[in-house]
Structure 1
Amino acid sequence: MPQHVTAGLDGSAESAAAAEWAAREARLRQVALRLLLVSDGPAPTRAATETGTAGAGRDPAAEFLAGTADALRGRHPGLEVRARRLTGRPPAVLAREAAQADLVVLGSRGLGSVRGFLLGSVALATIVRTDRPVVLVRPQRRPGPAVPGEEAGAAAGSVVVGVDVHQTCDATLDFAFGEAALRGGRLRAVHCWSLPPFGRDALALEMALREMRPDIARELRNVLAPWRQKYPSVEVTELTPVGGVSDRLLQSAAGAALVVVGRRIRTARAGSRLGPVAHAVIHHCASPVAVVAHG
């Protein structure tokens, strides 16, 4: 089984935030951290491929990679950090490396100062190429999940997961509950739904809302029941807001430590793509977003 967290670097503020978040996540999981810098350029020398200290590489990219690794070791004593520079198309390389990791952490956008390594579109392209969880991180004041023994406040919010009661999303729920357990056990499970059209009849809308909401809440409770049993330490809040899925999920996710959304694995001839809800959350949510593939 995988025993490490992988973070992709490109020299941008976004990837720096991703590396810090990944380091904290690795400490929570008590696993190693692997840093990857992927370029389309010429193959690097052997000395630059596996980097352990800041003096190992002689080109700016290798020195940046080694310096980042050393800085993370300094901020996270005891964390095993390995850094590698690889050549190839970044989405394909990152997806290949993701298969060997517990999860992959990437900056949510931006082309960094080390030019040509990780384009913002690479994150989205990587997500649809792997069935491993991918976490996208933006720069923020709170750099990542709190680690036991550190001051409280680094992850004051709970984990939020979007739930579709009409689809099987076991992988998404298992990941979300597991992340909540790592952070002290608070999870907000959100299922958004819409009322049928009633024109302008406000009374009919109110009656439909009153009649349908208990059934929706019961469906959500039933979907979550097995995961409550598997993760008894997790305190779950169930939310069933009415309205557009993307808008309501984003509202429910305000201030979250981590937002988890599912992505259906599609095998259509047109190729893999991201669903509209996951796409909207990735682009508009300020919190780290985990995209988890499910059947």
Structure 2
Amino acid sequence: MGSHVVAGVDGSAESLAAAAWAAREAERRDLPLHLVHAGDWHPDREDRDRAGAAQRHPARRALRQAEDRVRAECSRVSLSDEQMAGPPVPALLKAADQADVMVLGSRGLSGFTGFLVGSVALGVVAGATRPVVLVRAGEEALDEHRPERDGSASTDTGYRDVVLAVDLHDACDEVIEFAFEAARLRRARLRAVHAWHAAGPVDPGSGDIGPGQDSWQGEEWLGFLRAVLQVWRDKYPDVEVLATVVEDRPTTALVRASTGASLLVVGHRLTERPAGPRTGPVTHAAIHHVGCPVAVVPHV
């Protein structure tokens, strides 16, 4: 299969929201949308006629519900579906690695902003070699757009900011490019954020830190950030960019910066770990506590 957007669905409210978000993303990218349901049924089992049929029926129902949601929201998107056999995480990873973007649902936490991310979604995010977007239950097209002047919700207004988390110790082209392209597709402003914290009274790695140097450090980080972004500003001249450095913990800074955003873009380094693939602490915290859709972009 060529370039496409894929959404994993299981019949839950969050997966339906993910399918709808994926359909809108497919339209923005002018790509087809492929819906997949992954389960543990195995066509080669001896009892496939009974147990297999019983397991496939909910899968077909989940796919049909997602198709109906997509058609109601994006009637012109080219749509296909597939029921995949085997354990969910390996099956979804296979689907993700063949797509431009994989979209999965995560339940919104009642009472405060955040995600409740299941083991399947975390497994896919940790192991995928292509970008994975997590969408909370209840996410709608209106949430991606700025409100009208009177405060009412509308899809006729421009998109809210795309927020890019930049680690200047490990700035990666794949992550930055994904964010710039997302902003371009939406004609949205890109807000690039780097969080830093002042060293203690004595920093063995960089020498003594004296009073009054925090402001200087902030300006230096801002200069680094602008330099990193300059090549991408040149490549995407139509994207408005706001570069911001924040003296704060990265997770706290990202939650605050993403409030009211249409999308947060974070990176995930692909490394071999003894315990298997997993997300880093900042990405892990971001996908659990940020309220807007979160795009996790893998890099080496």
Q: TM-score range by the shorter chain?
A: 0.7 to 0.9
Deviation digits for residues 242-264 of structure 1, max 9, x if unmatched?
01111111111111100000011
Q: Which consecutive residues of structure 2, in runs of 5 or more, have no partner in the other structure?
A: 50-54, 109-116, 146-153, 203-208
Deviations 1:104-139 (A, max 9, x none): 0001249xxxxxxxx921011011221100000002
> 2:224 matched to which residue of 1?
219
Alignment of 1:105-116 (within 5 A): 105-109=103-107
Q: Distance in 2 between matches of 1:142 and 1:63?
A: 22
Q: CA offsets, 1:187-228, max 9 Å, x none?
A: 0000000101139xxxx8761212211111110011111111
Distance verdict in 2 for CA 1:109–1:140, change over 3 Å: closer
Q: State the TM-score, normalizing by the size of structure 2.
A: 0.83
| Residue of structure 1 in register with 2:60 after alignment | 62
Question: 1:1-295, aligned counterparts within 5 Å?
Answer: 2-43=2-43, 59-109=57-107, 120-140=118-138, 142-143=140-141, 145=144, 151-153=155-157, 156-198=159-201, 207-295=212-300
- CA positional deviation for 1:265: 1.0
Matched residues in 1 for 2:164 and 2:182: separation?
A: 10
Cα distance between partner residues in 2 of 1:167 and 1:74: 42
Contact 1:259 1:288 survives alignment (8 Å): yes
Greater shift in the superposed pair: 1-10 or 183-192: 1-10
- Measure the CA separation in 2 of the matches of 1:253 and 1:103: 21
Asked if structure 1 preserves the Cα contact closer than 8 Å seen for 2:260 and 2:292, the reply is yes
**What is the DSSP-based 3-state SS (H/G/I as helix, E as strand, rest coil) of the residue aligned with 1:274?**
coil
TM-score, normalised on structure 1? 0.84
Asked whether the 8 Å contact 1:38–1:93 carries over to 2, the reply is yes
**3-state SS of 2:259 partner:** coil
Structure 2 match to 1:49: none
Deviates further, 179-188 or 61-70:
61-70
List structure 1 runs of 4+ shifted beyond 6 angstroms.
Answer: none
CA deviation map 1:26-72 (0-9, x unaligned): 000011001011111343989xxxxxxxxxx9824313312421341
1:139-179, Cα deviation, whole Å (9 max, x unpaired): 23534656xxx9324x7421001001111411000000000
Q: Among all aligned residue pairs of Structure 1 and Structure 2, give the percentage whose two residues are the same amino acid.
A: 42
Root mean square deviation of aligned Cα: 2.6
> Shift of the alpha carbon at 1:75?
2.6
User: Residue 192 of structure 2 aligns to which amino acid in structure 1?
Assistant: A
Tell me how far apart the structure 2 counterparts of residues 95 and 67 of structure 1 sit (CA, whole Å).
22
Deviates more, 1:67-76 or 1:249-258: 67-76
Amino acid paired to 1:84: E
Change (3 A) 1:39 1:180: same
**Structure 1: which 5+ runs fail to align?**
47-56, 111-118
Count residues with an aligned counterpart: 270
